[in-house]
Structure 1
Amino acid sequence: MRAAVIGGTGFYSPGLLDEERDLTVATPYGEVALKEGSYHGKELVFLARHGVDHAFPPHLVNYRANIWALKAVGVQTVLATAATGSLNEDMRPGEIVLVDQFLDFTKSRPQTFYEGGEAGVLHVDMTEPYCPEVRRHLIAVAQQLERRVHPKGTYVCTEGPRYETPAEIQMYRQLGGDVVGMTSVPEVVLAREAGLCYATLALVTNYAAGISKNPLSHREVLEEMARSQEVLRKLIFSALVTLPEERNCACARAAAELGSLGQKSMQQGD
């Protein structure tokens, strides 16, 4: 099994990889820069979601190119990091939430690989958006490492790049949101269409607007990510090393209703 890490804000370098090398992958949506290497004999791929030096804000990230590139190089499992604000006082800055659901408030992002024509149209099932098997594995590894993580939570995805208003945060809380960020959608949806097992480790970097006592800032996010970087990296790499080779979830069969045509389209890059 080949696995990948998608690094979000403040997580721009994989670290720990042996024989690290750069790779550029051409996709129908543009080129994607990856890093390849190994860790304890496992082949791994790293993708910086926002590019070098955080070049792309969340609403301009080329999500389709990123996921297509990972699929093209043989990735089957993805662990994605995300810097998030907390809507839930029990989820404090510095803590990790293994989100299991999302609420989508994005506005202008392409959300699918399947836009008709030869590719077909896919109404992908998102009952369990984040791979339940990978999430259970992450929870077990966290317990072994004696690291406290929140085993579930609802991720509210906003368009960005601005932060939310207190009124919006109040609404998201009433709808059941736990953390808020700007990148999980459509990334998680595209990963499912591509048949990848995908899980997000949401690091709480601050309380959201109206909950925090201070004005929000990008610097605050980067500082908390820097403080928690090693804990997050330890959990991710420990999980990847012990990840089961066999996949028993339904993620790989997400596009099965399209038959061989849809799968062939992604595999060949048509």
Structure 2
Amino acid sequence: MDRMIGIIGGSGVYEISGLQDARWQRVETPWGAPSDEVLTGILNGVRMAFLPRHGRGHVHTPTTVPYRANIAAMKKLGVTDLVAVSAVGSLKEAYAPGDFLIVDQYIDRTFAREKTFFEPGLVGHVSVAHPTCARLSAACVAAARTQGMTVHEGGTYVAMEGPQFSTLAESRLYRSWGADVIGMTGMPEAKLAREAELCYACVAMITDYDCWHPDHDAVDVAQVVATAMKNADKARGLVAALPGLLAGPAVDCTEGCGHALDSAIMTAPAKRDPEVIARCMPVMGRVLKG
């Protein structure tokens, strides 16, 4: 199977430039339609799939994004390497607006979202001790450096329920935890990608210092959007560099992403609900077949 790179674009990143044979296509999943149609094509010889997380025109809130459908759509199209681009606020002085951070850990503070493909009749627990793919993350770092971007390797992303910005007390609390950036869409996206056995990396575009910083004590949308637009050009350059770093046939990931479900399913085969099995087959077919 050939490699296919999937991109889920966040605020400010609504397309991929330079795609050959580009077309928007509708993808249906057992969890409904994804945020939008998916733009597919070929970039520098590698198949690509792009999905705007909030939909074109930014119609979905962070809470109403159909995360399960988004991940299922990417899996259905044949994506092997999934890169999420997300706008975030910085919780550390060293990570300045305009910088990029390649996330490797999450603190999930969301509470109003469907967070798993599992359900009664098919119960499972997938490990998210290491929620991102180190191999794919390293490729993102390398791609960023080819573009001359300021990129930081590894960091913790606090995912908060949205749409809202932090209170000052919350911002100070997250800093006390040692978190690096804060955003509204990192979870459950990363966890669902792990359940779907996809290699997943998160490129966090820093737009502001959050309200803890004396110069950013009143973070507003205009400020965030302005920085996101500047970052978006850099992010598109990063995406364009990925095919050259990831070209070639898809092989088993050295990080084990493709086998995340090997020991995850708890429900005994005789007790599994056939309807749930059928629903989960598009994302878990490797371990459910037979």
Aligning the two structures, in what range does the TM-score lie when normalised by the shorter sequence? over 0.9
Distance of 2:97 and 2:148 partners within structure 1? 18
Q: Are 1:71 and 1:267, in contact at CA under 8 Å, matched by a contact in 2?
A: no
Is 1:58 matched up with 2:62? yes
Counterpart secondary structure, 1:47: strand
Q: Deviations over 1:113-138 (max 9, x none)?
A: 01121xx2121111211111111222
For the pair 1:195 / 2:194, whether they are aligned, the reply is no
Deviation at 1:167, TM superposition (A): 0.3
Q: CA deviation at 1:142?
A: 3.2
Whether the aligned pair in 2 keeps the contact of 1:86 and 1:207 (CA below 8 Å) is yes
Q: Which moved more, 1:142-151 or 1:258-267?
A: 258-267
Given that 2:195 and 2:284 are in contact with CA atoms closer than 8 Å, whether structure 1 keeps it comes out as no
CA contact under 8 A between 2:8 and 2:51: conserved in structure 1? Answer: yes
RMSD: 2.0
Out of 163, 167, 171, the residue aligned to residue 165 of structure 2 is 163
Q: 99, 104, 112: which one pairs with 1:100?
A: 104
How many angstroms apart in 2 are the aligned matches of 1:2 and 1:253?
A: 18
SS in 1 for 2:27: strand
Partners of 1:206 and 1:212 within 8 A in 2: no
Amino acid at match of 2:124: L
**8 A Cα contact 1:72 1:267, kept in partner:** no
- Matching residue of 1:123: 125
Q: Could you list the per-position Cα deviations for residues 15-62 of structure 1 after superposition, in whole angstroms to 9, with x for gaps in the alignment?
A: 221221011011111123111111111110000000121000101100
Mapped to 2, the partners of 1:267 and 1:206 lie a distance apart of: 38
The corresponding residue for 1:112 is 116
Tell me the residue number matched to 2:7. 5
Residue 210 of structure 1: aligned partner: 212
The answer for the alignment partner of 1:256 in structure 2 is 262
Identity in percent: 36
Question: Match of 1:253, as an amino acid?
Answer: H
The letter for the 1-side match of 2:107 is: L
Rounded to whole Å, the distance in 2 between the matches of 1:65 and 1:224 is 29
Q: Does 1:141 align with 2:143?
A: yes
Whether the 8 Å CA contact 1:27–1:69 is kept in 2: the answer is: yes
Shift of 1:150: 0.2
Cα distance, 1:145 vs. partner?
Answer: 4.1
Which SS does the other structure have where 1:25 is aligned? coil
2:90–2:209: 8 Å Cα contact kept in structure 1? yes
Q: Which amino acid aligns with 1:221?
A: V
Task: Report the Cα distance in structure 2 between the residues aligned to 1:48 and 1:129, rounded to whole angstroms.
Answer: 21
- Does residue 86 of structure 2 align to residue 82 of structure 1? yes
TM-score w.r.t. structure 1 length?
0.93
Gaps of 5+ in 1: none
Q: The residue matched to 1:113 in structure 2 has which SS? A: coil
Is 1:231 the counterpart of 2:234? The answer is: yes
- Per-residue CA deviations over 1:137-192 (Å, capped at 9, x if unaligned) read 22233344443310011000000101110100111011111100000000000000
Post-superposition shift, 1:252? Answer: 0.9
Equivalent residue of 2:75, what SS?
helix
Contact 1:7 1:14 in 2 (8 A): no
Q: Distance in 1 between matches of 2:229 and 2:147?
A: 20
Shift of 1:265: 5.3
TM-score of the two chains, using structure 2 as the length reference: 0.87
Query: In the superposition, relative to structure 1, how do residues 198 and 212 fare at CA in structure 2: closer, same or farther (>3 Å)?
Result: farther
- Number of equivalenced pairs: 267
Contact persistence 2:131–2:191 (CA under 8 A): yes
Which residue of structure 1 aligns with residue 180 of structure 2? 178
Distance 1:142 1:265 in 2: 32
